[in-house]
Amino acid sequence: MTWQTKIKILKNALPERENLRFVFDYAKQGAPEDFISDLRRQYPFVPESYVDLLRLTDGLQLDYFTIFGSGQSPFPSLSEANHAWRRQLEASKNLVVAEDASGSAFVLRDDAKIFLISTEAPEEQATFVAWSFDDLLDEVFMGPRYLSLFPYGPRPDNDWLTFLLDQRWIV
């Protein structure tokens, strides 16, 4: 099942599952096309899947994880996030696309892989998370590798984990 299908299921589940509102949110509009054009020009390695997400929603919250948008929605700005990380990351080869609740960054590299880097760690200490942006959404944020982000285990009352288990996206 693709991340696009999973997001549709999530949107449809919101009216029936009140607690889902605390762990899932999205911008009702897509990012402006001029923002997407500028993004592609500045970061030619941006995958089509990230562009597709931005056209669908200008930012996204999945549990503890926020995917950046244009800054014209309630979600954090991709440009501001990357400006904040420029001292730690080489901008021509890295794009910060998301962050976790602690402020650690999910970094898309020019080879399409996604790494997680802590605010205190140098780039060399980044942890591999996903093979691609699709993989990050499908398998990590909304799939079987979700628990890999919690080396000490998730909170026992985690509404997101409950939803993933109910949907059988995690088995």
pLDDT at 122 over 70: no
Average pLDDT, the chain: 92
Task: Report the alpha-carbon distance of residue 82 to residue 97 in Å, rounded.
Answer: 8
Q: What is the DSSP letter of 136?
A: I
Structure tokens at 28: 């009702």
User: Greatest CA span in the chain, whole angstroms?
Assistant: 44
Structure tokens at 92: 């021509």
pLDDT band at 17 (very low <50, low <70, confident <90, very high): very high
Residue 164 vs residues 1, 15, 32, 114, 130: alpha-carbon distances, Å: 13, 17, 31, 22, 18
pLDDT at 152 over 90: no
Task: Report the alpha-carbon distance of residue 124 to residue 137 in Å, rounded.
Answer: 24
Question: Which segment of 18-27, 84-93, 130-139 scores lowest on mean pLDDT?
Answer: 84-93
Structure tokens at 96: 């910060």
pLDDT band at 123 (very low <50, low <70, confident <90, very high): low
Per-residue model confidence (pLDDT) at position 105? 93
Residues found in the chain: 171
Task: Residue 24: name the closest of 162, 170, 168, 171 by CA.
Answer: 162
Q: With b meaning 16 or more CB within 10 Å and e meaning fewer, what string describes 63-73?
A: bbbbbbbbbeb
Domains and CATH numbers, the chain: 3-167 (3.40.1580.10)
